[in-house]
Amino acid sequence: MYKIVSIPGDGIGPEVVAGAVDVLRHLSKKHGFEIVIEEHPFGGASYDLHGSMLTDETLAACKECDAVLLGAVGGPKWENLPHEHKPEAALLKIRRELGLFANLRPAKVYDALIDASSLKADVVRGTDFIVFRELTGGIYFGEPRGYDEGKGWNTMVYEKHEVERIARLAFEAAQKRGSKKVMSIDKANVLEVSQFWRNEVHRVHRDFGDIELGDMYVDNAAMQIVRNPKQFDVIVTGNLFGDILSDIAGMITGSLGMLPSASIGRIHAMYEPIHGSAPDIAGKNIANPIATIASVAMMFEHSFCMPEMSAQIHEAIEAALAEGMRTADIAAPGEKTVSTTEMTAAIIRHLGA
């Protein structure tokens, strides 16, 4: 029996999480394994209900379950709250409290969607890389931080153990994937913290003689990802650079609505699409649920050791795309579009009864 906590959150969060929960329930019924899914409020939705973005109950539930499924948080309604009370601060808190130091963000192009990318077909076809984004350190968490009338400040800091554990995971992943290549991305030409990052990654690399390690400055990396994404296999980088580079990767696959992620630590794990709450399309049943459904595939792989369920989800997504199902974000101009619930239903149909 697996216990999953779902925290739909704000904006399109509840819409895409509903689709992913339907997929989970379908697979559990079809294959006869038991899952319990418990929903908890989080983010703006929780603030409106309980006056707190992250209640003790929600946090405790996340610590007690086998995996957390998160939609997205944030939106205009809460963006003028004091910084430490914003929904985004609650997301950082939950990641930190659960010890989710590694955020795995795979960017894989589906053949059926090659024309949905804003880049040329030849550039994107065959792209398949994964970003290992450090998630509980760096400038997102460094002290001191703040602003007053005259200035604003943040601190980018990495400790040895923080670089070591994410680098080790990235090298291990490269060993399992075919190409055995890791690219570490930093800004070591300007930032001391990045020079430290680079030194530590190279120190850890000594244990992985079969892996080819490269270094790239983040500005060049942003350009190289759109110039020739196929050169990358495993990327390892810090919190802020990983956030930005993975949104760029989103457009290679056609839409931000396609990219799943797994946030993992030593004990807990949380699965979340990389996109946000998309307030511009919330409540319209038009958001793409694939990123969240593919995050469930990552849950089966990383938390439940059921890679065959993960493969089935990917095949069903591919089949739905191949038969022409397109939410608005991945449709060509003039092409017929389907809703969030229709896309979810098509994926479930392809999973088979």
By C-beta, is 274 or 287 nearer to ligand IPM? 274
Closest of 245, 281, 289 to residue 71, by C-alpha = 289
Contacted entry of ligand NAD, ligand IPM, Mn ion, none for residue 254, CB cut-off 5 to 8 Å set by kind? none
Q: How far is the CB of 146 from ligand IPM (least distance, A)?
A: 17
- Scanning 20-28, 87-95, 179-187, 282-290 for contacts with ligand IPM by CB under 6 A, the matching segment is 87-95
Q: How far is the CB of 29 from ligand IPM (least distance, A)?
A: 31
Tell me phi and psi for residue 174, to 5 degrees: -65, -35
> Of residues 140, 158, 186, 271, which has the active-site annotation?
140
What string marks each residue from 324 to 343 as x (binds ligand NAD by CB under 6 A) or -?
-----x--------------
Rounded CA-CA distance 137/331 in Å is 37
- Scanning 19-27, 86-94, 181-189, 195-203 for contacts with ligand IPM by CB under 6 A, the matching segment is 86-94
Residue-wise DSSP of 228-288: -GGG-SEEEE-HHHHHHHHHHHHHHTT-GGG---EEE-SS-EEE--SS---TTTTTTT-S-
Tell me, yes or no, if 176 is annotated catalytic: no
Tell me, yes or no, if 140 is annotated catalytic: yes
Q: Is there a binding annotation on residue 202?
A: no
Q: Is 91 in the site for ligand IPM (CB under 6 A)?
A: yes
Tell me phi and psi for residue 253, to 5 degrees: -80, 0
Tell me, yes or no, if 219 is annotated catalytic: yes
Q: Is 243 in the site for Mn ion (CB under 5 A)?
A: yes
Tell me, yes or no, if 29 is annotated catalytic: no
**Which member of 132, 276, 316, 347 binds ligand NAD (CB under 6 A)?**
276
For residue 39, which amino acid is it? E
**In terms of C-beta distances under 8 Å and separation of at least 24 residues, what long-range contacts does 76-83 make, across chains too?**
76/279, 77/44, 78/10, 78/43, 78/44, 78/47
Please list the residues that pair with 93 across neighbouring strands: none
Q: Is there a binding annotation on residue 84?
A: yes
Q: Is there a binding annotation on residue 85?
A: yes
Q: Which two structure tokens, joined as six digits, stand for 9?
A: 């959150």
Residue-wise DSSP of 328-350: GGGPPTT-----HHHHHHHHHHH
Spell out the residues 6+ positions from residue 253 whose beta carbon is closer than 8 angstroms to its own. Answer: 107, 108, 109, 110, 113, 117, 124, 127, 259
Contacted entry of Mn ion, ligand IPM, ligand NAD, none for residue 287, CB cut-off 5 to 8 Å set by kind? ligand NAD
Q: How far is the CB of 212 from ligand NAD (least distance, A)?
A: 32
Residue-wise DSSP of 164-184: HHHHHHHHHHHHHSSS-EEEE
Q: Is 272 in the site for Mn ion (CB under 5 A)?
A: no
Q: In this structure, are residues 75 and 10 in contact, taking their beta carbons and an 8 Å threshold?
A: yes
Q: In this structure, are residues 330 and 258 in contact, taking their beta carbons and an 8 Å threshold?
A: yes
Q: How far is the CB of 129 from ligand IPM (least distance, A)?
A: 17
Q: Is there a binding annotation on residue 134?
A: no
Q: Which two structure tokens, joined as six digits, stand for 137?
A: 């350190």
Q: Is 88 in the site for ligand IPM (CB under 6 A)?
A: yes
Q: Is 134 in the site for Mn ion (CB under 5 A)?
A: no
Q: Is 12 in the site for ligand IPM (CB under 6 A)?
A: no
- CA–CA distance from 229 to each of 60, 233, 238, 251, 351 (Å)? 40, 9, 19, 11, 30
**Which member of 19, 74, 229, 242 binds ligand NAD (CB under 6 A)?**
74
Q: Is 243 in the site for ligand IPM (CB under 6 A)?
A: yes
Tell me, yes or no, if 111 is annotated catalytic: no
Contacts with ligand IPM, residue ranges (CB under 6 A): 74, 88, 91-92, 243, 274, 276
- Residues tagged active-site: 140, 187, 219, 243, 247
Annotated binding site for NAD(+): 75-88, 276-288
